[in-house]
Amino acid sequence: MRGDQAFDRLEDLLGRAHHQLGIAVYDGLMSSGGPPELRAPDQMLGRLLATAYRQAGHAVTGRLSRQGQVPPREHGVSDRAESSEGLLMRRPATVRLKYREQALNCARGYWPLDAVRVIGDAMQVVQEIVADLEEEVLPTTACDSLLKVSGSMGQVLALPQPANLQPALSGFDYMEEVENILATCTWRLMSATRRSKQLLDNELLLHFRAAEFSWLGALEVSQDLADDLDLAYREALSLSSAVTVVQDASTDFRGADLQSVDLDGVDLEGIRWDVSTDWPAHWQERIWRASLAVDTNQGELIVGAEPRDSTVPVDI
């Protein structure tokens, strides 16, 4: 490996190490109820951690600036090599459980309607119109069908817009990560949908309303619209997957160590777990009585709404 390549590799490793240290420190604090009020015996440890983190950051930034390089951005999901699923599932189970209700509400807010189905139906209508235009046989209901497609695009554009969160400590806040993942997909979906609606409203519908109908002109615009809707459909699938990632990170606690978590007031309904999940000792019997075995996955259980009359068989 050449010297400059080795140096670049070192800088990348240092940057990643610094970022992961920040996440670990932040998650450790938040999972235990937030930054504690330091007492005398804790002062030295707290100061050492803070000093080590600051010095690591200054060292990395200084080395990069001396080489004329720009440190990698820590925000922006699209710039990260890791998948969204890995980003969330690598966060401590205690943190994911603490913010579970907030994360699920956030996911529901970004997915109040099935955009995949809505755009898929619109694609089907436009593809049928393309086929009719190619045959130069157009049904009288074609214009009404396109107006319905325009209304469907309006439904998607009415989805909640991404919120602007106040950045937490170096961007390590779990809910900021959740919001970024969902917002990135939403922005792309909105952009593709808006482009499709503008093409439909400002060009294709004008062909249908013109005094002299142009088969070739309408066909070209319809094909362009079909391509734009195909992109919007893929972006809708991407947002749907991002919502699923957030939901999975908020419900999948198989093998997690939750012994130190205060479960009072926590909504546990729907959580997936297994025999390797460690619950607080005084919650174990209650969790077992409220859970049902999942038929599709041997050994997996899901917490129900109410305790059952009998516990789940131990041989699951």
What is the chain's pLDDT, residue by residue, as a tens digit (316 residues)? Answer: 566 666 677 777 777 777 777 777 666 666 666 655 555 555 556 555 655 655 565 455 455 444 444 333 333 333 333 455 578 888 999 999 999 999 999 999 999 889 999 999 999 999 999 999 998 888 889 999 999 999 999 999 998 877 654 544 444 688 988 988 999 899 999 999 999 999 999 999 998 888 888 889 999 999 999 999 999 999 999 999 999 999 999 999 999 999 988 888 888 999 999 989 999 999 989 999 999 988 766 678 999 875 544 444 444 4
**Residues spanned by the domain of 264:** 253-316
Total of domains in the chain? 3
The pLDDT score that the predictor gives to residue 82 is: 44
What type of residue sits at position 175? M
Same domain, 205 and 279: no
Q: Which residues are within 8 A (CB) of 285 and not within 5 positions of it... i.e. 6 or more apart?
A: 311
Same domain, 52 and 8: yes
Domain C-terminal end among 53, 72, 91: 72
The pLDDT score that the predictor gives to residue 168 is: 44
269 within 8 A of 304, measured Cβ to Cβ: yes
Residue 216 lies in a domain: yes
Sheet holding 300-303, edge to edge: 272-274, 300-303, 291-293
Same domain, 66 and 104: no
Same domain, 142 and 235: yes
Token pair, residue 316, equals: 């699951």
Residue 78 lies in a domain: no
Residue 281 lies in a domain: yes
Same domain, 262 and 181: no
Question: Residue 166, CB half-sphere, CA atoms under 13 Å: how many?
Answer: 0
Same domain, 112 and 226: yes
Cα 159 from Cα 235, distance rounded (Å) = 14
